[in-house]
């Protein structure tokens, strides 16, 4: 453990895959860290690295002003917090457990009634990167609460505050899951397609990595166009792109591989064409998905 001026005592409740790396990162960053888990035996490694084991849930909940939760789901959060509800006054509860926006809002209101403050968090980068700058954590709830837990939260990775509504972090979590899976399933299709032609998967990864900055570079401009509800065909019209995806479907089918991924994209483009966006660009699909219209 390294000494630091802004060391912030933290208790971590739940030492599963996420909770243990969170506790490990806090310890490594020099924050006195108390740990507790429902089933015994999961704290041993962390205690070996300087964590303070709490003998009981009550001891854990009262050990520090910041209480971090990483348990299975919202029901488990309630199961952990309810027995120690009276101990939450004046404490910050940071809940990294995944859940739905309304569950986050309910937990925030429940915590406030006990005199505590609540911050909802979403761990966006799995467990391996936790404690490093490439790990992204999203938070929502009161800004003051976010700031007060700042030193501890920044030890986990990049801490991005999204707003006062406690439900915002989990809404972003679920939206980003869609982005990640859209990207990865597109990549897996490319691995299967090119693999059928003898290209090794690592080579596919290399060329895709080279290509991604182009796609990433489109995000801000397409977002601007979506806001303005315009969709110039800078990257091709929907008509042209639909024909290109037809080739992707046909080539995939010809090689005997699944067409699930391009079929989904083709179906969306078809809806765009039917809505009259054949001469518009890709950002017109935002309106097609959202059920709003673009102007031309």
Judged by beta carbon, residue 79 or residue 268, the one nearer ligand NAP is 79
Q: How far apart are CA 143 and CA 152, in angstroms?
A: 15
Sheet of strand 117-123, all strands in order from the earlier edge strand to the far edge: 52-53, 33-36, 10-13, 66-69, 92-95, 117-123, 136-141, 158-161
Report the nearest approach of ligand NAP to the CB of residue 181 (Å).
14
Nearest of 59, 158, 78, 63 to residue 118 by alpha carbon: 78
Radius of gyration, CA atoms only, the chain: 23
Which listed residue (10, 11, 18, 261) binds ligand NAP by CB under 6 A?
18
The verdict on 16 binding ligand NAP (CB under 6 A) reads: yes
Which listed residue (70, 93, 245, 273) binds ligand NAP by CB under 6 A?
70
Judged by beta carbon, residue 63 or residue 80, the one nearer ligand NAP is 80
Structure tokens at 86: 């009276």
Site string for ligand NAP, 109-138 (x = CB under 6 A): --------------x--xx-----------
- Work out the end-to-end distance of the chain between its first and last CA atoms, rounded to an integer number of angstroms: 60
> From residue 231, how far is each of 68, 146, 218, 224, 283 by CA, in Å?
44, 37, 13, 10, 5
The verdict on 37 binding ligand NAP (CB under 6 A) reads: yes
Which listed residue (6, 17, 184, 255) binds ligand NAP by CB under 6 A?
17
The verdict on 92 binding ligand NAP (CB under 6 A) reads: no
| Chain residues that interact with ligand NAP, rule: CB under 6 A | 14-19, 37-39, 42, 70-73, 76, 79-80, 96-98, 123, 126-127
């Amino acid at each position: 453990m390294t000494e630091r001026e802004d060391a912030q005592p933290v208790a971590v409740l739940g030492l599963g895959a996420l909770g243990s790396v969170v506790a490990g990162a806090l310890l490594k960053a020099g924050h006195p860290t108390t740990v507790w888990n429902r089933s015994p035996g999961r704290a041993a490694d962390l205690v070996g690295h300087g964590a303070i084991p709490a003998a009981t849930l009550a001891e854990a909940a009262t050990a520090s002003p910041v209480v971090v939760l990483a348990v299975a789901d919202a029901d488990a959060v309630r199961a952990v917090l309810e027995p120690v509800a009276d101990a939450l006054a004046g404490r910050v509860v940071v809940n990294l457990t995944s859940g739905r926006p309304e569950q986050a809002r309910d937990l925030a209101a429940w915590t406030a009634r006990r005199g505590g403050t609540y911050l909802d968090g979403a761990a966006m980068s799995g467990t391996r990167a936790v404690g490093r700058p490439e790990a992204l954590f999203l938070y929502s709830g009161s800004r003051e609460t976010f700031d007060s837990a700042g030193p501890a939260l920044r030890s986990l990775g990049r801490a991005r505050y999204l707003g006062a509504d406690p439900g915002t972090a989990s809404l972003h979590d679920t939206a980003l899951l869609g982005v990640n899976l859209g990207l990865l399933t597109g990549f897996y299709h490319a691995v299967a397609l090119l693999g059928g032609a003898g290209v090794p998967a690592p080579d596919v990864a290399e060329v895709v990595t080279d290509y991604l900055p182009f796609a990433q570079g489109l995000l801000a401009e397409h977002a601007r166009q979506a806001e303005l509800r315009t969709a110039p065909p800078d990257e091709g019209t929907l008509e042209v792109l639909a024909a290109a995806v037809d080739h992707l479907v046909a080539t995939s089918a010809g090689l005997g591989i699944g067409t699930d991924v391009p079929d989904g994209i083709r179906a969306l483009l078809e809806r765009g064409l039917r809505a009259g966006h054949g001469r518009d660009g890709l950002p017109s699909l935002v309106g097609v998905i959202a059920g709003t219209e673009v102007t031309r």
